Amino acid sequence: MSVQIIQATINDLDSVRQIGIDTFYESFSSANTEENMTHYLETGFSLEKVASELGNPFSEFHLAYDGDQLIGYLKINHGPAQSELKDDTALEIERIYVLQAWQGQKIGQLFYDKAIEIARTHQYTYVWLGVWEKNEKAIGFYKRNGFVEFDKHLFTLGTDIQTDIMMRKEL
């Protein structure tokens, strides 16, 4: 397997939208109702919303390919694009998602390493993220990479209000 990570542009709109839908559904459909999943996927990954995110100069999408196959993506946010803190001294990792067939092959670690490299290039003092409290696999991944919990916030999926654990890592 030879994985390449490339930064997405607006020309990748359809690919970014589809990998977002596919990975989110794979990751969370078993723990949520079909109605809530459908609603979230239609709103959270609408063409307009993804185009707006791709066009935001303070957000970056990085795509992982195994040959011609798109297998996952990373979304990071600088300053005003951050979902919560909007801290100019920090980078937010908003999403690291990998298709299930490629999980366990260190693709998430490649994305994580890319995010840390970008944060260090910008001389940020820390990196932060939010992760669903029931996503034990992701929480374990971030803890292994030196993140610690510092707060919580609420995330609405359809009609379900869920709790995200906010984690950070000092650089």
How would you class 55 by CB atoms within 10 Å of its CB: exposed for 0-12, middle for 13-18, buried for 19 or more?
exposed
- Catalytic pick from 40, 112, 124, 142? 142
Catalytic-residue membership of 142: yes
Catalytic annotation, residues: 142
